Structure 1
Amino acid sequence: MAFILSTWELPLQPMVLYFEMTMLNFSTLCLEDSNSSSDGYDTIIGILDTGIWPESTSFNDNGIGQIPPRWNGTCTEGHDFNSSNCNRKLIGARFYGGDDSDSDEDQTARDKVGHGTHVASTAAGSTVTGASYYGLAAGTAKGGSPRSRIAMYRVCTEDGCLGSAILAAFDDAISDKVDVLSLSLGSPAVFRPDLDNDPIAIGAFHAVEKGITVVCSAGNDGPSPATVSNAVPWILTVAATTIDRDFESDVVLGGGKVVKGGGINFSPLQNSPVYPLVHAKSTKKSDADDNSASNCQGDSLEENAVKGKIVVCERTDGYSVYDKRDTVKSLGGLGVVIVDDESRAVAENYKSFPATVISSKDAADILSYMNSTSNPVATILPTATMTDYKPAPAVAYFSSRGPSYVSPNILKPDIAAPGVNILAAWIGNSAEDANEGKEPSLFNVISGTSMACPHVSGVVATVKSEHSEWSPSAIKSAIMTTASQTNNLKAPITTESGSAATAYDYGAGEITTEGPLQPGLVYETTVIDYLNFLCYIGFNTSKIKVISRTVPSGFACPDNPSSEEISNINYPSIAISNFMGTTSRNISRTVTYVGGDGETVFTATVEAPSGLDVKVIPDKLRFTKNNQKLSYQAIFSRSSKSNKASFGTILWTNGKYKVHIPFVLNNES
């Protein structure tokens, strides 16, 4: 192996898969096809995850040429997995054991969870026509870079992922010559390791140093602030957004009024509203309190009062929507309507039991109807696929938010991508995930930043295939500076709650597929920048070597390093902390022209909130040749104090290219 990362003495940190609480939902990919001429043909995406189901049609190699000669990996045989399971699409597979207690069945690259298969097909799945989840959202499924090759590194089981396995996989992937690494995993905020004990941060540093772009999930701990994971500057960190498809399971009330609900169910109820409708509180046991009963908790409901009825449950507690469904189902209820604003957009999978989630606003209509009659009735309709849903995208409620826990002077997350109700391939033997009485579906629907990450990995692979000479930071810049900040209503992107989204929610914005291929300008961040970043957060040379292992000859941390200097790292966003407004802050950036030969002039414009003054000097950059580098300064000052973070954008344009760089200033240190 080229590196010996796997022998480093790190604690065996359990890493948690970024499932969104096993939310099962379904959709074809939201991104439009790119017009890349190569379409990722010889690009190799390495995926660290739960393994892969090689028989999936998403991994067929029809029409794909020979394996790139530089490939140095292997297809490791193991339990129920042999070398013939690999092909010209799935070109490599490895697995990593945890300890001696692992059974022989764990010694395999085969996916037993589904997560890795889903992620791999989202990133680079081949085109599959007629894909659907038991008929829902029928259409064509394919990955973000459908001709890219896949190398799977099984580092996780259903119990989690070991740090030693992650480091070993990075080691192998670097040696195997992958171009992109996609990691839909990480530690939740409450278990976050120190940076010098973080196997993802350490492994990613070495991969990026060797020219491999590393893409990671931002985490599912939102919407609380400062929850973003994988927040070091050498990683491309991805938030999750909704898409323009919804799975509606509506409630029809007596009298015919329809209340829109969300979720996946294959309800066997009649379409006519003939079933008694009750609020859970009215079915409580004599010794139960109103709150427990309203939330359909455990033993709080009277069986005779629930049996044969549709029950309305609140969700103001910690009980999941599945717990509420199970409570009603176990007591003989015919269906459940759950009031939950957060879960409304994420299509939970209730299979054949009639269950749906409605917003608190729509719940008012149901409660009004129930209060207007002595015998309220309703029905729950089976799920239907709705397209052209608006507004979309919106930042998913669960997507982890900035500012970065590592340093508020680096903006994280970097980018957002579809992560709600995503259709992709699934394992073929999962009876647990099958609809009752049906064979397991070859596709499944999941939500989480796990699903957003491989969308970006696919775009990275396509950009890499077009611009093989570009560094990971140039590719990151191309993706960030061409992101979109508007939704399909041509209005600013919002959060799921409807408030305006900020760079702490979605970084530079929603990823696009065409823009990154021709960004015009790129911001390149060097390994020295990353080493200086470690100096600025307080690492000395010895501690830096825990992450980098070596440092270039002559490198030393600056005298009296300050965390404020992080803002001057040549990153494709600007974050400034501890900004009180009493003095101005001067930030420098260097851009490289990648738009082709010939003279061109880019002009700067600034979008900033009232009270914040931003001057760009010079405000025009004149390039005379391709790959020319020019620098500018952005000077920030306030005309009045503010207790809130200030967000804005610097835009460089020459008439052909529009190059956005977001900025955020706050008064916290």
Structure 2
Amino acid sequence: MAAPEANRPAAWQANDKELTLKGTEPPLFNVISGTSMSCPHVSAMVAVVKSHYLSWNPSAIKPAILTTASQISNMKASRATELGEISSSGPLQPAGLVYETTTIDCLNFLCHHGNNTSTIKVTFKDVPAGFACPKDLSVDLMSTINYPSIAVLNLARNQIRNINRTLTNVAGDGAATYSLTIEAPNGTQTGVKYMNGSLANLLFYIYAQDGGAFSWCQSGADEGEKDGVYIVYMGAATANGSSKNEHAQLLSSVLKRRKNALVHSYEHGISGFTARLSAAEAQSIAKNPGVVSVFPDPVYRLHTTRSWDFLKYGTDVKIDLSPNSDSNLSSRGYDVIIGILDTGIWPESKSFSDKDMDPIPSSWKGTCVEARDFNSSNCNRKIIGARSYNGPDDDDDGLVNTPRDMNGHGTHVASTAAGIMVPGASYHGLASGTAKGGSLGSRIAVYRICTPNGCAGSSILAAFSDAIKDGVDILSLSLGSPASRISDFKEDPIAIGAFHAVENGITVVCSAGNDGPSEKTVSNGAPWILTVAATTIDRRFESNVVFDKNKVIKGEAINFASIGKSPVHPLIYAKSAKKAGADERDARNCYPDSMDGKKIKGKIVICDNDEDINSYYKMNEVRSLEGIGAVLVSDKTNGDAFDFDDFPMTVIRSKDAVEILAYLNSTKNPVATILPTTVVSQYKPAPAVSYFSSRGPSSISRNILKAKPPDIAAPGSNILAAWTAYDGEETDEGREFPKFKIMSGTSMSCPHVSGMAAVLKSHYPSWSPSAIKSAIMTTASQINNMKAPITTELGAIATAYDYGAGEISTNGALQPGLVYETTAIDYLNFLCYHGYNISTIKVISKDVPAGFACPKGSEVNMISNINYPSIAVFNLTGKHSRNITRTLTNVAGDGTTTYSLTIEAPTGLTVTVRPTSLQFTKNGQRLSYHIIFTPTVSPLQKDMFGSITWTTKKFNVRTPFVASSR
């Protein structure tokens, strides 16, 4: 660590005649420099810490000083030191945790440095009985001693090193939860996995590549004077737009000296700004009565099933809406503008040709920015506008602020939503056919908000603000934050931006996330967002394993390698190739540096898949050891084909692995081969809920059956769509770069729904975002291509937690018959029920009617009553009933139409609806009905799912529900 050393005045000897000027007294103090001067600063701090914590040993004092160091200068810039500058107050409150470097740590350090056990026993008095140096000193003991910093040297490309650390609680008794922040440089992957712990100690291990930092922060703890980028949210913009001068004035009221603090100012639809602030300055601004919230600028991630680093291997999207989509219907959408908030666009793709398109609609008020590698000629009548936003930290990285897509994700998403028909599209010959978007005639407005550093919340809000001004009709966001990161809508830039977009008549469609299949993992859970889960399609990519005497096990993957059809290659289970000193679990899972290359060379390796590290690291490890191929055993990829490119690798299910492992264990010279990928069409059953798709219920808005669970599901596994030419250097020699690519993720399902929303908007220009959402949800399908209920990928019948209302229907949504209009009052009441007071609500919304007040007794269970196209009733206990009201609006035209009622309710729950029929006589007529939920057992043993459907010979308007005692 560092401490002050330059020009330090301190006491001096009295007989230094050389420093005594003629006619003056000898100096009592002198100014000198050097690490000799920095050292006693730290020594003094050690003494102060020791006086406060007399029982602390040296290894506790050291981490208290190191882990609280500052890395910021008085210019608010990063220091050049590794651990930072000593803090004079931080060590006295060391975040509650310290790293205790034990006796064994020190002894192992000596072992690693070449000292034998005998020498160590002479040198050290505290050698425990039975201690001996590890036999294999090639193991990196240095980086695993419990030190407050980590150094991992000799780390080869694509290699992973596992490191253990243990933290000791020094904050006293009582529960304390620490969240994790990782700072890793570009091109690295770093992670931390909890192993075990107690109130006193916590053990975790870190897997990392290259360098970076991570920190543990206690929930609700004071972070002191931590500088950073903060978003200041000030609610709705005024009718004339918020004034940038007003934002600057508020900012200057707390900033006295700093220049260039303002990052973004939001003036259209949204009022607020983003600025570089200290924590104290942020707290001061938050006290202003016109401020709704002030929070650190979050970074969001793309919702693909691969990280940014591995998109070149990706498996993320398809372009056909669904096997039964009607090309005439999906071709509609002229003059509807879809805004894509993503990584940009590759405008040269054939999917974005404007041939035969009409002039740009007059409703468009946006622009096509000039930037490096992008100019106005890259826009046309299909791509009608493009903007780009660098995050607060991107400029320092030298990133180019351009709408051009250097990643591929944004291009893929945009073409899925609104790409034109492109015959002969394929990914290196796979999935060949005609690629087309969901709304062929729609226009595309590009808002590049994501860079290799992620998708900054401040950029997201800036894009929302511009999109509102530009005149878009639909906004599509295939990104989000993990559900656990968001605790309040007013600190979620996507929820904030979407609220104001919907206020301005824009439908906002977001991906649900890829953290499934666990419950409460869905992101983008605000009720004004249309949130999309992912499903499989009726196409699979098979790469089978042939072993023994031509026995075949079905595998699923994309690989273009051919090592022969006959099983002639030696086969080995990775566990049997464990390297001396390596952990058996690591070897079994093909972790880097865990297998003996001599045992791997020339063989096909069977690897388990614990998902702690990306499967491509496992592939690279086998490849680097000259293995000829690999078989990954996993139940978590069914319908989502990993792309291993030119390496013979595939994925099989665990039930199939039993057979091949039995053969391997019973045969002296086991052999196998891996076949290159073939396409299986009309696969059954399909659709199924994709394994990765995030699930409900909502951790924030539980009493709405929505984003957590999702609202709707759409194809998201193995989707073919346009791709960027930027990754041509990643394409193997002899093959051109792919103009289309296969990817998976809710990133891919989201634009399917965005395209459908655009089709609806073109058919019904006056429809509100909630009417469009309702039409999509109430006409969804719950049946697969085997005429059976849609299931999860593991075969269980899917519930609303998995797929919301069901799989999108491209035909049914155009003729919904009835819709649920979720009004401005519904959303205001939702905020009331969520705990917002009327003063805050009046700042947030521009549509608060005169005299509006929060309903008396507002509490979270009342959320069930907002007029949403699904119903959730939680905390249903005892035999007390819960009454819910819904209102339907007729959109089928004038004339008398009578709807009859069908209720699907599970055993243990009585559902009563009054009235039992609804008769509409004119278009736009609104009728209400009441639902009474009564449990017949208490508590309910599980969450119970059902539906209420209003039916005529032509229309089926289905509303899913869930009831729960929790």
Contact 2:331–2:438 (Cα < 8 Å) also in 1: no
Q: Identify the residue that residue 527 of structure 2 maps to in structure 1.
A: 233
Candidates 297, 318, 337, aligned match of 1:12: 297
Q: CA RMSD in A?
A: 1.7
| Alpha-carbon distance between aligned partners in 1 of 2:934 and 2:514, rounded to the nearest angstrom | 35
Deviation (angstroms), 1:198 = 1.1
Candidates 690, 701, 718, aligned match of 1:396: 690
Matched, 1:363 2:653: no
Matched, 1:295 2:561: no
Q: Identify the residue that residue 464 of structure 1 maps to in structure 2.
A: 761
SS of alignment partner, residue 390 of structure 1: coil
* The structure with more radius of gyration: 2
Matched, 1:416 2:713: yes
| Alpha-carbon distance between aligned partners in 1 of 2:330 and 2:456, rounded to the nearest angstrom | 39
Deviation (angstroms), 1:454 = 0.4
Q: Identify the residue that residue 510 of structure 1 maps to in structure 2.
A: 807
Identify if the C-alpha distance between structure 1 residues 547 and 160 changes in structure 2 by more than 3 Å, giving closer, same or farther: farther
Identity of aligned residues (%): 61
Candidates 269, 292, 295, aligned match of 1:3: 269
Candidates 628, 651, 673, aligned match of 1:379: 673
Matched, 1:489 2:786: yes
Identify if the C-alpha distance between structure 1 residues 444 and 374 changes in structure 2 by more than 3 Å, giving closer, same or farther: same
Contact 1:352–1:436 (Cα < 8 Å) also in 2: no
Identify if the C-alpha distance between structure 1 residues 37 and 293 changes in structure 2 by more than 3 Å, giving closer, same or farther: closer
Q: Identify the residue that residue 747 of structure 2 maps to in structure 1.
A: 450
SS of alignment partner, residue 726 of structure 2: coil
**Comparing 291-300 and 429-438, the one that deviates more:** 429-438
Identify if the C-alpha distance between structure 1 residues 100 and 477 changes in structure 2 by more than 3 Å, giving closer, same or farther: closer
Matched, 1:80 2:373: yes
| Alpha-carbon distance between aligned partners in 2 of 1:426 and 1:59, rounded to the nearest angstrom | 11
Matched, 1:251 2:548: no
Total equivalences in the alignment: 668
SS of alignment partner, residue 329 of structure 2: coil
Identify if the C-alpha distance between structure 1 residues 187 and 439 changes in structure 2 by more than 3 Å, giving closer, same or farther: same
Contact 1:409–1:566 (Cα < 8 Å) also in 2: yes
Candidates 947, 951, 958, aligned match of 1:649: 947
**Aligned partner of 2:361: which letter?**
P
**Aligned partner of 2:366: which letter?**
G
**Comparing 476-485 and 32-41, the one that deviates more:** 32-41
Alpha-carbon displacement from aligned partner over 1:79-134 (angstroms, at most 9, x marks no partner):
11000000010001011132375166522111111111111001001111111111
Alignment of 1:573-652 (within 5 A): 573-641=870-938, 642-652=940-950
**Aligned partner of 1:240: which letter?**
A
Deviation (angstroms), 1:664 = 0.3
**Comparing 24-33 and 41-50, the one that deviates more:** 24-33
Q: Identify the residue that residue 265 of structure 1 maps to in structure 2.
A: 559
User: Gaps spanning 5+ residues in structure 2: where?
Assistant: 1-266, 275-293
| Alpha-carbon distance between aligned partners in 2 of 1:328 and 1:109, rounded to the nearest angstrom | 38
**Comparing 53-62 and 550-559, the one that deviates more:** 550-559
Deviation (angstroms), 1:392 = 1.1
Matched, 1:664 2:965: no
Q: Identify the residue that residue 855 of structure 2 maps to in structure 1.
A: 558
Candidates 328, 345, 351, aligned match of 2:639: 345
**Comparing 368-377 and 441-450, the one that deviates more:** 368-377
| Alpha-carbon distance between aligned partners in 2 of 1:661 and 1:436, rounded to the nearest angstrom | 53
Deviation (angstroms), 1:231 = 0.5
**Whose RCO is larger (CA < 8 A, sep 6+)?**
1
Alpha-carbon displacement from aligned partner over 1:160-179 (angstroms, at most 9, x marks no partner):
11122111111111111111
Q: Identify the residue that residue 350 of structure 2 maps to in structure 1.
A: 57
| Alpha-carbon distance between aligned partners in 1 of 2:899 and 2:878, rounded to the nearest angstrom | 29
Alpha-carbon displacement from aligned partner over 1:415-455 (angstroms, at most 9, x marks no partner):
01111111111111213652454232111111111111000
Identify if the C-alpha distance between structure 1 residues 231 and 288 changes in structure 2 by more than 3 Å, giving closer, same or farther: same
| Alpha-carbon distance between aligned partners in 2 of 1:133 and 1:429, rounded to the nearest angstrom | 16
Candidates 337, 340, 346, aligned match of 1:47: 340
Q: Identify the residue that residue 106 of structure 1 maps to in structure 2.
A: 400
| Alpha-carbon distance between aligned partners in 2 of 1:521 and 1:48, rounded to the nearest angstrom | 31
- Output the TM-score relative to the length of structure 2: 0.68
Q: Identify the residue that residue 536 of structure 1 maps to in structure 2.
A: 833
| Alpha-carbon distance between aligned partners in 1 of 2:425 and 2:679, rounded to the nearest angstrom | 14
**Comparing 638-647 and 542-551, the one that deviates more:** 542-551
Deviation (angstroms), 1:496 = 1.1
Q: Identify the residue that residue 509 of structure 2 maps to in structure 1.
A: 215
Q: Identify the residue that residue 477 of structure 1 maps to in structure 2.
A: 774
Alignment of 1:60-71 (within 5 A): 60-71=353-364
| Alpha-carbon distance between aligned partners in 2 of 1:267 and 1:3, rounded to the nearest angstrom | 53
Identify if the C-alpha distance between structure 1 residues 433 and 12 changes in structure 2 by more than 3 Å, giving closer, same or farther: same
Deviation (angstroms), 1:461 = 0.2
Identify if the C-alpha distance between structure 1 residues 369 and 510 changes in structure 2 by more than 3 Å, giving closer, same or farther: same
Identify if the C-alpha distance between structure 1 residues 15 and 316 changes in structure 2 by more than 3 Å, giving closer, same or farther: closer
Contact 1:170–1:204 (Cα < 8 Å) also in 2: yes
Deviation (angstroms), 1:638 = 1.8
**Aligned partner of 2:370: which letter?**
E
Matched, 1:115 2:389: no
Alpha-carbon displacement from aligned partner over 1:473-501 (angstroms, at most 9, x marks no partner):
00000000000001111111111111111
**Aligned partner of 1:65: which letter?**
D
Alpha-carbon displacement from aligned partner over 1:23-44 (angstroms, at most 9, x marks no partner):
6236442421354397001111
Contact 1:181–1:457 (Cα < 8 Å) also in 2: yes
Contact 1:34–1:513 (Cα < 8 Å) also in 2: no
SS of alignment partner, residue 462 of structure 2: helix
Contact 2:943–2:965 (Cα < 8 Å) also in 1: yes
Identify if the C-alpha distance between structure 1 residues 271 and 256 changes in structure 2 by more than 3 Å, giving closer, same or farther: same
Alpha-carbon displacement from aligned partner over 1:269-289 (angstroms, at most 9, x marks no partner):
112111111111221223334
Q: Identify the residue that residue 320 of structure 2 maps to in structure 1.
A: 29
SS of alignment partner, residue 770 of structure 2: helix
Identify if the C-alpha distance between structure 1 residues 235 and 381 changes in structure 2 by more than 3 Å, giving closer, same or farther: same
Contact 1:217–1:453 (Cα < 8 Å) also in 2: yes
SS of alignment partner, residue 439 of structure 1: coil
SS of alignment partner, residue 601 of structure 1: strand
Q: Identify the residue that residue 470 of structure 2 maps to in structure 1.
A: 176
**Aligned partner of 1:40: which letter?**
G
| Alpha-carbon distance between aligned partners in 1 of 2:379 and 2:675, rounded to the nearest angstrom | 43
**Comparing 192-201 and 434-443, the one that deviates more:** 434-443
Contact 1:11–1:163 (Cα < 8 Å) also in 2: no
User: Gaps spanning 5+ residues in structure 1: where?
Assistant: none
Matched, 1:315 2:606: no
Deviation (angstroms), 1:546 = 5.7
Contact 1:196–1:546 (Cα < 8 Å) also in 2: no
**Aligned partner of 1:359: which letter?**
R
Contact 1:97–1:107 (Cα < 8 Å) also in 2: yes
| Alpha-carbon distance between aligned partners in 1 of 2:448 and 2:572, rounded to the nearest angstrom | 48
Contact 1:524–1:571 (Cα < 8 Å) also in 2: yes
Q: Identify the residue that residue 201 of structure 2 maps to in structure 1.
A: none
Contact 2:321–2:437 (Cα < 8 Å) also in 1: no
- Output the TM-score relative to the length of structure 1: 0.97
Alpha-carbon displacement from aligned partner over 1:393-436 (angstroms, at most 9, x marks no partner):
11111111111111210112100111111111111121365245
Alpha-carbon displacement from aligned partner over 1:629-665 (angstroms, at most 9, x marks no partner):
1111111112223220000010100111011000001
SS of alignment partner, residue 430 of structure 1: helix
